Structure 1
Amino acid sequence: MRLLLRLLANAAALAVATALLSGISLSGDTTGQKVLTLLVVALIFGVLNAVVKPLFAFFTAPLVLLTLGLFLLVINACIMLLTSWVSDKLDLGWHVDGFWTALFGALIVSVVSFVLNAFLPDKDKDRDRRRG
């Protein structure tokens, strides 16, 4: 259930970035197709965040430390671009035009995801409540 809620939160965050930035495009004939596309893109984005992002962060750790964490924004932009590339390969109809759009999109997705995830139930708190 929690993973489904996170998927929906990511899809909503990607939808906000798509709506706010002209450099991120979403194609589809109907609203249902657009929603389905955003859900699949959110799934791809989540998998890349779980698998690729830690590798990027590990190999660029000195740069992340040197920039006091600001390089993580570049990594997030790269994940957005990679998501766009995979989406293009799968012919999903979601595309990011260039690095700067990806950087601003990653910022928007991060902020929206943070806000939405603040309202999701915390698994650790639920476990503690059952114990105590």
Structure 2
Amino acid sequence: MVKCVSMSQSSLDDDELFGEAAAEMREDVETHLAKARDALPEGKAVWDVEADNTLGVLNGLKSALAADEVDTHLRDAKKWYTIGERADAFEDASDLQAEIEEIESVLDDLQAVSEHVAELTGTIPELRSKLDDLHADDDE
């Protein structure tokens, strides 16, 4: 009979430990999601860019769109979320999944816009040079 109590106690301890681990995993996911959200640029940062010329605006926008830290925190959140989901550790994780998807969507948009801005940053000086050359020919 002592053995049954011991096994029962061990089982209770395991359940309690699993519950604590699940709570810690959820907290880790929430912490990384909060850090990812905080690392996202403010809307004002990508809208209000000050510069003397187009290239300056594009470079300022490129800097405002940088999201490396967001990507790192989102990856960590997804890692802990996946582990928790596979272990069936979360009672209800729909809120976590929704937030992951929301941040992932914004990050995808940031990266797409950043690629466009980088492309423009590379082509605008070349275009300017061609236009200057063309107009210089007209002046001669």
TM-score of the superposition, structure 2-length normalised?
Answer: 0.27
Q: Choose between structure 1 and 2: higher helix proportion.
A: 2
TM-score of the superposition, structure 1-length normalised?
Answer: 0.28
Q: Choose between structure 1 and 2: higher strand proportion.
A: 1
If asked which structure has higher relative contact order (CA below 8 Å, sep 6+), I would say 1
Q: Which has the larger radius of gyration?
A: 2
